[in-house]
Structure 1
Amino acid sequence: MTARHLAVLKAVAAMVAVVVASNILVQYPVQALGLAEVLTWGAFTYPLAFLVTDVTNRALGPQAARRAVYAGFAVAVVLSIWLADPRIALASGTAFLLGQLLDISVFNRLRRQSWWRAPLVSSSLGSIADTALFFSLAFAGTEVPWVTLALGDLAVKLAFAVLLLAPFRALSARLAPVPA
């Protein structure tokens, strides 16, 4: 196995862990401070998926990032159907693909600009698309206050897009591009 294949496998494993954890945690509203109608615990883990995608894109390029997203998607959906609600798993998989592929495309277009612009803009746009699609598919037609939960989760995801710039910078500096 080449170093490149190993790096993609690590990205897939990280992606699966983040998505499965998020699919479980999105079922649990944050009860503290009266946030149950506004926020789920999944909002705190899911932004790490964008970090994984952006670091993979920076180190290995968009094709490898797409491979990690597709493989992570397949494994995470199967595990999430088993470990979480099937409707959430399918909504998550659909939204995940849209959000992550948008992230990869935008990141790749901005990759030669300031080091922070590509991950910030791509993660923000991917989070908006992912959140809108996920919450509407997972919870529309239910008694779950999905619009307010979507807005609360999106606010956390956008804050994380900024907060995760430091780990992105540190990881990008440590990971030399792996040759094709």
Structure 2
Amino acid sequence: MINNILKDRPTKLFLFFCSFFVANALIAECIGGKIFSLEKLLGLPVHTFTFFGQSGLSFSLTCGVLLWPLEFVLTDIVNEYYGPKAVRRISYIAVSLIAYAFVMFYVSIHVPAAEFWLGTGVQDGVPDMQSAFNGIFGQGMWIIIGSITAFLVSQIVDVTIFHRIKKVTGEKYVWLRATGSTIVSQLVDSFIVLFIAFKIGKDWSWQLVLAICLVNYIYKFTVAILLTPLIYFIEHRIERYLGAETTAKMKAAAMGKELE
């Protein structure tokens, strides 16, 4: 029986999507502690601007945003072929494993360090390895709670909007349901994580929270638009891999319909 399951192409594809989705989410959480300059990355001069009365803003973003747009693309792909139940399942798996990872980070931070290890980074400019380790893996509890909550809520929003658009448009306008659901869910994600992590956790002003939320959303909105061709490419490759008949049946089943 297990051999038949592993030979089933839709099953193999789902396992790949699930594995990539979880790995991508976990990596994004781990690298999210670094803030980078988008302008410098693109070779542009850094200019500051003002939103909601908050001055001195620039496109300084967490490295996690490099990967999160791919999560929403993958959410739409899984939603298209496997339905909302599958999206919720892989989202719960991802959140559970992210929470597990943070528990392990906490444990690893607090186990006693070997004395010889503390100074092993001196030659690389790291005088205290324990402090460096804590700084990288010791994210604040409010940030963790905010990130996980934002991820779950935004996934639910994405799934709901995706299916409502598809019920109206049918198989047409893939770009509309994929991009439309993503740009709304990205806004929800950006606001919730900042509200929990920094409004509640750090007592930031509403002015600062909304300003940074808008900066992050402008980036996410732009990337969502730019990634639209990728969705068409992936769907084309899936149809070639599974065949037109199988993909048609999967799309119908994902919408709660059955094809004879």
- TM-score norm. by structure 1 comes to 0.85
Gaps of 5+ in 1: none
Deviations 1:12-40 (A, max 9, x none): 22222222222233322224437777422
Deviations 1:130-151 (A, max 9, x none): 1110111122242876544322
Kept after mapping to 1: 8 A contact 2:22/2:90: no
Mean Cα deviation higher: 94-103 or 31-40 = 31-40
* Count of matched residue pairs: 180
Give runs of aligned pairs for residues 66-81 of structure 1, distance below 5 A: 66-81=88-103
Sort the Cα spacing of 1:9 and 1:76 in 2 relative to 1 into closer, same or farther, 3 A.
farther
Q: Alpha-carbon deviation of 1:107?
A: 0.8
Which amino acid letter does the alignment assign opposite residue 84 of structure 2? P
Percent identity, aligned pairs only, is 23
Sort the Cα spacing of 1:28 and 1:155 in 2 relative to 1 into closer, same or farther, 3 A.
same
* Match in the other structure for 2:192: 133
Distance 2:59 2:182 in 1: 24
- TM-score norm. by structure 2 comes to 0.61
When the two chains are superposed, the root-mean-square deviation of aligned CA atoms in Å is 2.5
Gaps of 5+ in 2: 41-45, 48-56, 106-136, 240-246, 254-260
The answer on 1:94 being equivalent to 2:149 is yes
Distance 1:138 1:27 in 2: 13
* Match in the other structure for 1:13: 19
Runs of 4+, deviation exceeding 6 Å = 34-37
Give runs of aligned pairs for residues 24-103 of structure 1, distance below 5 A: 24-31=30-37, 32=40, 33=46, 38-81=60-103, 82=105, 83=137, 85=139, 86-103=141-158
Question: What SS does the aligned partner of 1:119 have?
Answer: helix
Which amino acid letter does the alignment assign opposite residue 117 of structure 1? L
Kept after mapping to 2: 8 A contact 1:128/1:154: yes
Distance 2:232 2:93 in 1: 25
Sort the Cα spacing of 1:61 and 1:23 in 2 relative to 1 into closer, same or farther, 3 A.
same
Distance 1:106 1:162 in 2: 17
- Look at both structures and tell me which one has the larger radius of gyration over its CA atoms: 2
Kept after mapping to 2: 8 A contact 1:57/1:65: yes
Kept after mapping to 2: 8 A contact 1:13/1:72: no
